[in-house]
Amino acid sequence: MESIEAFVSSGKPHKILVANAAKLVKAQKDPELLSALRTSDLVTADGISIVLGARVFGVKLVERVTGSEHLVPLCCERAAKRGHSVFFLGAGPGVADKAAQILKERYPGLKVAGTHSPGYNVLTDESETQRAVQAVREVSPQILFVALGTPKQEKWISRNLDALGVPVCLGVGATLDFIAGVAKHPPDWVHRIGFAWLYRLVHEPSRLWRRNLEGVIFTGLVIRERVFGRRREESPRVS
């Protein structure tokens, strides 16, 4: 939260994205998504597989930091205390409004500058993008939550970061759906034991089966890099 507070204080545009196994697998074949992640000012680990994968390479991540459990609640709590305004962009019609109302009740004093639910083609329709950007610029929030799903939100934030002029832009995926109750959120104990992915798969198999398959692919990529990467390091150099 200290980093986010520093971003807000600077007044300059920053982007914060979350990374899970499925997203990193997609990025291997999507140069724009990969670039969006690499150029982020802050990337958090959304999923136990990222935390464990990092440890394989000697990188110690204290914990996973998800949008629904950590980023949005903590940012809204801090914003309410510091007087920062927030804006919710994305999700289906009415979802952002409902999520905003719930968060205002949860964090008294939270200033919601506005909400906007753009069309599905916001990434490819320039007029739709301009309407979304204008809606944000008119109220000049300090924090913008973008819930367009992956890889749309990462690309949209990166393409429009400077035009938005918001100190902190966060890609939060389905977080607004969870807060508004549109999507079923795993219980806390399921998160603690690292099986949130299984809980969601059981409840939304048609939407999440591919994402979980990509999680398996991610595990394979980690193992391959660990094994063959070490072999490359140990191979003698010919001079």
**What CATH number is given to the structural domain containing 158?**
3.40.50
Is 20 inside a domain boundary?
Answer: yes
Tell me the percentage of the chain whose pLDDT exceeds 90.
Answer: 53
Average pLDDT, the chain: 82
Could you give the number of structural domains in the chain?
Answer: 1
Q: How confident is the model at residue 239 (pLDDT cuts 50, 70, 90)?
A: very low
Is 190 inside a domain boundary?
Answer: no
Asked if 4 contacts 16 with a C-beta cutoff of 8 angstroms, the reply is yes
Is 231 inside a domain boundary?
Answer: no
Is 19 inside a domain boundary?
Answer: yes
Is 93 inside a domain boundary?
Answer: yes
Strand partners, 168: 143
Range of the domain at 17: 2-182
Is 239 inside a domain boundary?
Answer: no
The residue type found at 189 is W
Is 236 inside a domain boundary?
Answer: no
Structure tokens at 39: 């150029």
Half-sphere exposure in the Cβ direction for 21 (13 Å, CA): 23
Is 163 inside a domain boundary?
Answer: yes
pTM: 0.78
Asked if 217 contacts 26 with a C-beta cutoff of 8 angstroms, the reply is no
Half-sphere exposure in the Cβ direction for 213 (13 Å, CA): 7
Mean pLDDT within 178-199: 69
